Every structure is written in structure tokens, then in C-alpha cells.
């Protein structure tokens, strides 16, 4: 019988083994001026609220996490704009509105915190930090070692004892931590890997971009997959634009 983590995968809703590292801890510091000011994040949250994002838990998490700490120094002045930004190695940090939208979809129908969450594609670590405020435990897996290490550095200022960073192939998920109350992906392929569905708990929800259409006309759309005792239920929502889902590590 395989070893299981000691904490439970709580649900409030009616290959290669990755290397696990716990993100370093440090205190959050909020200054009164500049990009460290809570007013800057408050303005961003207010704009998102006007766009229709209403989950108070998600908006509060975005208020707490300083996005400018997760982007390159040359781009910090754009950190609180609703735009994706390059983070190196051909990857991007998602728009705040997209992070909020996907988190809100994960939290829909859940009272209190999510249980154990798996994030596919750590990137710079921003979404993982947001998720750490919404869930009991977060496993975040990244296939590019350079970004895995960058995320660790970016997260040093937070106390994130419930966030575990993994270096490995995200398409395989992380079976040792399963079952997950929620799974979220920051990269999109033609279909959701079966490993993710297998690792999702009954009653859990998966949110990920997937390709719709075929050939050169194929576009990504947001998929919400709910796993029930009778099977899976899928809903395809609005168009999105994420980096392609790839296997292996680099």
C-alpha cells in the first residue's frame, strides 16, 4: 500500500515521481506607499469586482498577495494591470482576472476552504500563492526547473507552510497526494489527462483550459469538470489563452 500524506483531502462540496519541496517562509510586509501599498491591490480588486467577480474569499486572497513580487523588475509597473506578462522560458503569469475567475470556479458551491488542491504549472508562483489562501493544502507542480526555482525565490516573503512545490511532469499529476478536492491547470491541451481525472476526488472539481475545434482553427476554452459517483460532468465556458500543455521535464 502506498504511503499517503497525513492530512485529509476534505471536501465541503455536495512514471516519474516529482521532487517535493516546501516553499520557504518569511513574513508578509505591507508598506504604505508604492507597489507594496495595500491600496494598489485594493484598486485592482475593485476593478475585478466591477467585472463581475464576486467571491469574497477570492477577492480577499488577491488583496493579500503582492503580484509585483512575482514579475521581473522591468515589468513591475504593469503588475497590477489586468494583463498577462512574460516570466521567462516562454511562459507567462496569467491576468489577475483569469486567476480570479478560475479560483472562483473552484470555490463555487464550497463552504469554507477547499481541501487539498493540485495546481498544474507553478510558473512564477503567483497563482499558487493565491490558492494557498483558499485551500487547506496546495501541491503545485512545474515541469521547467528554472521556473520551479524562480517560484521558490518569489515565495520567500510569504508564510506558506501549506504550499508544496514539486518539480515534475504535470501531465502525470501527483498520485501520492490524491485524491484532490480540486485541480487547476495553467496550460491547455487537446484533452484533460486521464491521470488528473483519476486523482480528483468524487465530489471534486477540475478547472483547466482545453482546445476546442480542430486544426489551425482550434482555440482554447475554459473547461469545468465535476466528478460525481456516476461519472464526470463537463462544461465548456469562455475562450482563454494559455501556454500549451506539454509532457516531460526540462
Give the active site residues.
94
Closest CA to 182 of 134, 237, 146, 242: 134
Spatial separation of the C-alpha atoms in residues 20 and 5, rounded to whole Å: 12
Instruction: Give the helix ranges, DSSP H, for 93-241.
Output: 96-107, 126-132, 145-154, 194-199
The angle formed by the CA atoms of residues 142, 133 and 20, to the nearest 5 degrees, is: 30
CA 95 to chain centre: 12
Between CA 130 and CA 124 the distance in angstroms is 12
Beta strand 243-244 with 187-188 is parallel
Give me the DSSP letters along 112-133.
S-EEEEEEE--TTSHHHHHHHT
Amino acid at each position: 500500500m502506498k504511503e499517503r500524506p497525513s492530512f485529509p483531502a476534505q471536501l465541503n462540496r455536495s512514471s516519474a515521481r516529482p521532487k517535493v519541496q516546501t516553499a520557504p517562509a518569511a513574513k508578509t510586509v505591507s508598506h504604505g506607499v508604492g507597489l507594496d501599498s495595500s491600496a494598489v491591490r485594493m484598486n485592482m480588486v475593485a476593478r475585478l469586482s466591477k467585472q463581475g467577480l464576486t467571491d469574497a474569499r477570492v477577492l480577499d486572497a488577491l488583496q493579500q498577495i503582492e503580484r509585483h513580487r512575482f514579475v521581473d523588475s522591468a515589468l513591475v509597473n504593469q503588475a497590477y494591470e489586468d494583463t498577462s506578462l512574460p516570466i521567462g522560458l516562454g511562459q507567462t503569469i496569467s491576468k489577475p482576472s483569469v486567476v480570479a475567475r478560475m479560483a472562483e470556479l473552484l470555490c463555487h458551491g464550497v463552504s469554507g476552504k477547499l481541501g487539498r488542491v493540485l495546481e498544474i504549472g507553478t510558473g512564477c508562483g503567483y497563482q499558487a500563492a493565491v490558492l494557498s489562501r483558499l485551500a487547506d493544502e496546495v501541491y503545485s507542480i512545474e515541469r521547467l526547473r528554472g521556473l520551479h526555482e524562480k517560484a521558490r525565490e518569489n515565495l520567500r516573503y510569504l508564510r506558506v507552510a501549506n504550499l508544496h512545490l514539486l518539480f515534475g511532469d504535470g501531465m502525470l499529476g501527483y498520485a501520492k497526494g490524491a485524491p484532490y478536492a480540486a485541480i487547476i491547470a495553467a496550460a491547455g491541451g487537446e484533452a484533460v489527462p486521464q491521470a488528473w481525472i483519476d486523482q480528483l476526488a468524487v465530489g471534486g472539481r477540475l478547472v483547466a483550459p482545453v482546445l476546442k475545434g480542430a486544426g489551425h482553427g482550434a482555440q482554447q476554452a475554459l473547461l469545468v469538470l465535476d466528478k460525481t459517483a456516476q461519472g464526470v460532468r463537463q462544461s465548456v465556458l469562455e475562450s482563454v489563452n494559455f501556454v500549451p500543455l506539454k509532457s516531460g521535464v526540462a
